[in-house]
């Protein structure tokens, strides 16, 4: 389902598409470590944005940036200070300061880390479609049980660029699978169901308009099921394709309008489309795949690249909330 018409003015709750849930009694959201029997409405009823990326460290950085730039405080989570040694390590590893007091995770952190800052949830969904599918299912149920209204899902990730310089923020208009099909083949009980992977053009444009001096493009995103062979890399432990095969693949993707490649876009676009959740994907590119395969930037450069997609999202959220 194309969710482009759903961007503006949706004050609806998330409508789950599962008739079996009503007979469940209580629903334990196992990977998040939260249950439908808790006071979810009190804790999460005000959520308007779920910002997610692969890495738990980046989810934490985003939560702290959001808190500092939007002046939000979450109820108890911000009472705790981050120890100096953690701050020092963070600066050494990522080349950026943790601003203010740090957000503390809610629920379990074994698989995912989730932080709440005002009306924003910042969480990490791990790498790949399989991990993202778990996060999205549990997050959508959590917010439906919490009766949150008008929620947007934003994926703020990293990617390999296709013909764009490292650090570009690519805002996805269309996700492609690794065979470059413009749909997601979702299997249930051994049967394939092809789902739409177009994202809201209106929301993508609204985000693009907040770019300021962040180099940004709107374009297609290829979601591969792996990082090495599936992305046509020549530097994996196994490679039975040639450099020519790789370049033909990347050029074909580029000709379709794709400007980056990552590992989640098809699941994200089709899942949010099915549940009619307004959503966008903003991924920073770490390298240009037309020029190579290895990610060789320094930690400080990588932190700056990742910051581009996060900052673009924050610019957009600030504009929507009327905070400049």
Encoded one letter per residue, x for contact with ligand URA by CB under 6 A and - for no contact, window 194-233 reads ---------------------------------x---x--
- What is the distance between the alpha carbons of residues 126 and 41, in angstroms, rounded to a whole number? 26
108-137 binders of ligand R2B (CB under 6 A)? 127
Identify the residue among 262, 267, 293, 307 touching ligand R2B (CB under 6 A): 262
CA gap 235, 286 in Å, rounded: 16
- ∠127-261-244 over CA atoms, to 5°? 125
With respect to ligand URA, which residue has the nearer C-beta, 141 or 184? 184
| The entry of ligand URA, ligand R2B, none that residue 278 binds, CB within 5 to 8 Å by partner kind | none
- 263 contributes a contact to ligand URA by CB under 6 A: yes
Q: Closest CB to ligand R2B among 263 and 275?
A: 263
Q: Where are the alpha helices (DSSP H) in 164-298?
A: 201-208, 243-255, 265-274
Are β-strands 169-176 and 279-288 bridged in parallel, bridged antiparallel, or unpaired?
Answer: antiparallel
Which of ligand R2B, ligand URA, none does 264 bind, CB closer than 5 to 8 A by kind? Answer: ligand R2B
- The 51-80 site mask, x for binding ligand R2B (CB under 6 A), equals ---x--------------------------
Residue nearest to ligand URA (CB): 160
Query: What six digits make up the tokens of 256?
Result: 């379709």
Pick 158 or 310: Cβ nearer ligand URA: 158
Least spacing, CB of residue 256 vs ligand URA, in Å: 17
Rounded distance between C-alpha atoms, residue 199 and residue 184, angstroms: 13
Site string for ligand R2B, 221-260 (x = CB under 6 A): ------x---------------------------------
* 8 A C-beta contact, residue 101 and residue 310: no
Show the CA angle centred on residue 52, arms to residues 46 and 56, nearest 5°: 115
**Is residue 286 at the binding interface for ligand URA, with CB under 6 A as the rule?**
yes
- Judged by CB under 6 A, which stretch of 15-23, 72-80, 174-182, 261-269 contacts ligand URA? 261-269
- CA distance linking residue 186 with residue 188, whole number of Å: 7
- The span from the CA of 168 to the CA of 171, in Å, is 9
> Crossing angle of helices 129-145/265-274, nearest 10°?
30
Shortest spacing between CB 78 and ligand R2B, in angstroms = 28
Eight-class DSSP state of 116:
E
DSSP codes joined into one string, 11-57: -PBP----GGGGGSSS-EETTTTEETTS-HHHHHTT--EEEEES-HH
Residues that bind ligand R2B (CB under 6 A): 54, 127, 157-159, 227, 262-264
């Amino acid at each position: 389902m194309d969710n482009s018409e759903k961007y503006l003015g949706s004050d609806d709750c998330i409508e789950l598409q599962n008739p079996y849930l009503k007979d469940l009694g209580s629903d334990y959201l196992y990977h998040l470590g939260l249950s439908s029997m808790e006071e979810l409405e009190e804790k999460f009823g005000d959520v308007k944005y779920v910002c997610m990326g692969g890495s738990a460290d980046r989810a934490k950085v985003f939560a702290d940036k959001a808190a500092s730039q939007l002046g939000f405080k979450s109820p108890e989570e911000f009472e705790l200070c981050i120890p100096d040694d953690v701050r020092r390590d963070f600066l050494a590893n990522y080349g950026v300061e943790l601003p203010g007091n740090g957000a503390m995770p809610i629920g379990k952190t074994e698989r995912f880390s989730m932080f709440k800052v005002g009306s924003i949830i910042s969480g990490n969904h791990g790498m790949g479609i399989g991990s993202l599918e778990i996060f999205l299912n549990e997050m959508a149920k959590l917010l439906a049980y919490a009766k949150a209204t008008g929620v947007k899902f934003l994926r703020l990730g990293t990617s390999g660029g296709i013909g764009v310089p490292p650090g570009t923020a690519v805002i996805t208009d269309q996700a492609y699978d690794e065979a470059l099909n413009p749909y997601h083949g979702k299997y249930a009980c051994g049967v394939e169901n092809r789902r739409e992977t177009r994202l809201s053009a209106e929301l993508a444009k609204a985000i693009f308009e907040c770019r300021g001096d962040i180099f940004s493009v709107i374009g297609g995103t290829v979601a591969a099921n792996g990082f090495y062979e599936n992305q046509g890399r020549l530097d994996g432990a196994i490679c039975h394709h040639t450099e020519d095969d790789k370049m033909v693949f990347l050029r074909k993707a580029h000709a379709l309008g794709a400007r980056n490649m990552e590992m989640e876009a098809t699941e994200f676009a089709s899942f949010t489309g099915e549940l009619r959740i307004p959503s966008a994907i903003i991924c920073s590119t770490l390298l240009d795949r037309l020029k190579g395969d290895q990610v060789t930037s320094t930690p400080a450069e990588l932190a700056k690249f990742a910051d581009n997609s996060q900052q673009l999202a924050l610019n957009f959220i600030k504009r929507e909330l009327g905070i400049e």
